[in-house]
Chain A
Amino acid sequence: NAGVTQTPKFQVLKTGQSMTLQCAQDMNHEYMSWYRQDPGMGLRLIHYSVGAGITDQGEVPNGYNVSRSTTEDFPLRLLSAAPSQTSVYFCASSTGLNSNQPQHFGDGTRLSIL
């Protein structure tokens, strides 16, 4: 059981570069989400998806794009990286949108923007 798999685990970018953080789940979950975790700020929701072809913005969506072409995959794109996007990024999945369903998290991507 792989659960939620995030790649890469670590990445260093220069300001202005673009990249895609990958997230895949093998539990056939409809709901997937991306969070960033910063010291003193906790987990903040960036974007989420309630199924293939459906995405919506969370609390801090600016500078990030997402798409959901399959149930399994939910990539997060940084269009033009900025130092303020230095963070740890977590992908999560669950069977439902509301919090009556536990979320399953990946182990994160640690991203540094120089």
Chain B
Amino acid sequence: SQKIEQNSEALNIQEGKTATLTCNYTNYSPAYLQWYRQDPGRGPVFLLLIRENEKEKRKERLKVTFDTTLKQSLFHITASQPADSATYLCGGYQKVTFGTGTKLQVIP
């Protein structure tokens, strides 16, 4: 079955470093991937969308890549801050299947 996987449940990094989160997909070829941020007790909030023909997309300190050969998207937060601590969700194509999320904690 079509699947989106975020293998890291949690990631801890030091403030100022770059956080890199991974999203892998299997058994389908999404035309798009989306990334969302979710804070405790809140609904997910859309951050970025990347199309399969876009290798990279940036928004302020955020960068997303899409590698159709590896069937993978990477989500980077540069110069990370404690306020970036949240769970980040990767969402795929067709009714937007989601991964289980990676909980990022940025340590001051």
Contact = CB atoms under 8 A, between A and B. Distances in A.
Q: Do the two shown chains form a genuine complex with each other? A: yes
A107 interface: yes
Range for the number of chain B residues in contact with chain A = 20 to 34
Nearest to A108: B43
A43 B90 CA distance: 10
B31 A43 contact: no
A44 B91 CA distance: 11
Contacts of B31: 98-100
A29 to B, nearest CB: 13
Contact of A102 (B43, B46, B99): B46
Interface string A33-49: 10100001111110010
A90 B41 contact: no
Contacts of A35: 98
Contacts of A42: 89, 98-101
A45 B91 CA distance: 12
A3 to B, nearest CB: 9
Interface of A: 4, 33, 35, 40-45, 48, 58-59, 90, 92, 97-100, 102-108
Interface of B: 30-34, 36, 41-46, 49, 51, 89, 91-101
The list of the 5 closest CB pairs from A to B, nearest first, reads A105-B43, A42-B100, A102-B46, A43-B98, A99-B32
Given A4-B43, A99-B30, A103-B44, 15 more contacts: A33-B96, A41-B100, A45-B95, A48-B95, A98-B93, A99-B32, A99-B49, A100-B51, A102-B34, A103-B34, A103-B91, A107-B41, A107-B42, A107-B43, A108-B41
